[in-house]
């Protein structure tokens, strides 16, 4: 049985809501032998009911989905459908990643009508453009300024203190995020 961390922002997590989240989101665990702690954030903002789910399934693979509607239960249902579509759509690549086990047979059901329209014929992700550039040492604030000057949503830089390659990015909420590399 998977473990859950269910948090709420501007909403009380009632026992019935927690139970619904665990039952519905728990459905995605049937595809994998090993699932880490599932995190679910339920937010109510300006009348929108937002559900964010992260499911670590081993091998460094994360499933992530987000949905927003005017009803929390509808948002939960839609995010589960989105996560299941991700598994079905990527099943060949996931099977390759988990070739020594970890992906259950449920992920390979071909007769599932909800997923008939998905195209699994592509073998790889097409790379349509490649850019090369020098990763310059700078601090986080300078990297954000550079990203904004370029009008990009992310910027790769070398941290002047640690010498690690990091990424700053613009979040959907207008704030900034930092991805740090390291071991």
Q: Is the dihedral of CA 122, 128, 132, 136 positive or negative?
A: negative
Q: Confirm whether pTM is higher than 0.85.
A: no
Per-residue pLDDT of the chain (183 residues; tens, 9 = 90+): 689 999 999 999 999 999 999 999 999 888 888 888 999 999 999 999 999 999 988 767 888 999 999 999 999 999 999 999 888 877 777 777 666 555 665 555 544 444 444 444 455 778 888 888 788 899 999 999 998 888 889 999 999 999 999 999 999 888 999 999 876
Contact assessment for residue 52 and residue 41, using Cβ atoms and an 8 Å cutoff: yes
To 10 degrees, the CA torsion angle through 152, 153, 159, 165?
Answer: -100
The residue count for the chain: 183
Site of tokens 């929390």: 72
Q: Output b/e per residue, 9-34; b: 16+ Cβ within 10 A.
A: eeeeeeeebeeebbebbbebbebbee
């Amino acid at each position: 049985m998977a473990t859950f961390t269910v948090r709420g922002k501007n909403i009380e997590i009632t026992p019935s809501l927690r139970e619904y989240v665990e039952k519905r989101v728990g459905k995605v665990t049937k595809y994998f032998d090993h699932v880490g702690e599932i995190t679910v954030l339920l937010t109510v903002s300006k009348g929108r009911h937002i559900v964010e789910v992260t499911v670590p399934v081993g091998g460094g693979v994360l499933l992530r989905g987000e949905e927003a509607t005017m009803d929390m239960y509808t948002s939960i249902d839609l995010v589960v459908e989105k996560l299941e579509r991700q598994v079905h759509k990527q099943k060949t690549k996931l099977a390759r990643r988990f070739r020594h086990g970890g992906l259950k047979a449920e992920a390979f059901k071909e007769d599932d009508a909800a997923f008939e329209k998905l195209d699994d014929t592509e073998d790889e992700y097409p790379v349509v453009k490649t850019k090369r550039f020098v990763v310059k040492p700078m601090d986080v604030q300078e990297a954000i300024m550079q990203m904004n000057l370029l009008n990009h949503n992310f910027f790769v830089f070398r941290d002047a203190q640690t010498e690690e390659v990091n990424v700053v990015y613009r979040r959907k909420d207008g704030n900034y995020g930092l991805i740090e590399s390291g071991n």
